[in-house]
Amino acid sequence: GAVVSQHPSRVICKSGTSVKIECRSLDFQATTMFWYRQFPKQSLMLMATSNEGSKATYEQGVEKDKFLINHASLTLSTLTVTSAHPEDSSFYICSAGGDRGKGNQPQHFGDGTRLSIL
Taking the complex as a whole, the smallest distance from the CB of residue 24 to another protein amounts, in Å, to 13
Residues interacting with another protein, by CB under 8 A? 4, 6, 32, 34, 36, 43-46, 49, 91, 93, 95, 98, 100-104, 106-112, 114
**Closest approach of another protein to the CB of residue 104, in Å:** 6
Q: Between residues 32 and 75, which has the closer beta carbon with respect to another protein?
A: 32
Q: Which is nearer to another protein, 13 or 44 (CB)?
A: 44
Instruction: Give the torsion sign (CA, 55, 59, 64, 70).
Output: negative
Q: CA angle at residue 68 from 3 to 28, to 5 degrees?
A: 20
Rounded distance between C-alpha atoms, residue 27 and residue 47, angstroms: 24
What minimum distance in Å lies between the beta carbon of 6 and another protein?
A: 7
Judge residue 38's burial from the number of C-beta atoms within 10 Å of its C-beta, 0-12 exposed, 13-18 middle, 19 or more buried. Answer: middle
